[in-house]
Amino acid sequence: MRLPLVTVLGECVADAFTAPATAPGELALRVLPGGGPANTAVALARLGTPARFLARLSDDVFGRLFRGHLESSGVDLSAAVRATEPSTLAVAELDAQGRAEYSFHARGTADWQWTADELAVTDLATTACLHSGSLALVRDPGGPVVEDFLARASATATISLDPNVRPLLVAPEVYRARLPRWCALADILRLSEDDLGLLLPGCTIERACDVWHAAGVPLVVVTRGKHGAVASLHGERIVVPAPPADVVDTVGAGDSFTAGLLHHLGARGLLGGRLTGLRVDDVFDACVFAAHVAALTCGAVGPNPPWAEELRLPAPMAGRAAR
């Protein structure tokens, strides 16, 4: 059975991780393809979901790295734009728990320069779900263009969003101002507990879900790292535990969770339109699957989501080597 097409719109970022220097006075970096939307597209394709990535990919050295990574994972780049601007660079430092702190080099880069004409030619007839979010949805000048594209897509496709708040690049106030409009467009809102703290400081998960449901989104999923996830479907809540994981780092884990969620829903014919047939039991099963995908991602360096065959590994899920 062929699974439904998921189209992902957003950025692909060069994630540069600090590495041991070979001589005093040097800084060594290991560069891996990253960026939340790109990570989600790669994870979907590796799981077996047809994934098309709408991106503005530079022809610089990083852009060529991105294309090779995406295509080797099975992502469809037929609608990607060849951009003349440079790629976005993010330098990451990992703490003792494998969490990344980023500094961004993103001024005038390719990812944020969407025009209405570039997206107008995109055919959405076969897209069951459009996933977006992160910086491409909030950074100008392209952010408003992407938002308009989501509104057009919502007529026929399920809309999934991940705000992925990056306060070093965009003030949380900007996300807060736009989030009600996004919730009015979206069917699925997946975000981390850290995102929640930036978007609604001091607010409980339960209260935040109520706020976002009232704004229009039927399904809210808040991921909590080793504490699992909380999902709310029209106010009916479930708690999903996190499976055991041998954590190397947590980079890309949330993006893999989103991919696992969408893949599971698509495989059961639940994507496409407004999720009217979705039940809370379906949400629980999809989140359990998504949590296993995220746990496997934590076992590899950087945003390296698992392939479908790796999901057969027994728990505990051991560390993985990059492909």
Q: Give me the residues of the chain with pLDDT under 70, please.
A: 96-98, 313-323
Looking at residue 98, its pLDDT comes to 66
Looking at residue 319, its pLDDT comes to 39
Tokens of 171: 């003030």
0.85 exceeded by pTM: yes
Looking at residue 307, its pLDDT comes to 95
d(CA 318, CA 68): 27
Task: Please tell me the chain's helix, strand, coil percentages from 3-state DSSP, rounded to the nearest 5.
Answer: 35, 25, 40
Looking at residue 300, its pLDDT comes to 87
Contact by Cβ (8 Å): 89, 58: no
d(CA 165, CA 213): 19
Looking at residue 19, its pLDDT comes to 79
d(CA 199, CA 107): 24
d(CA 95, CA 161): 27
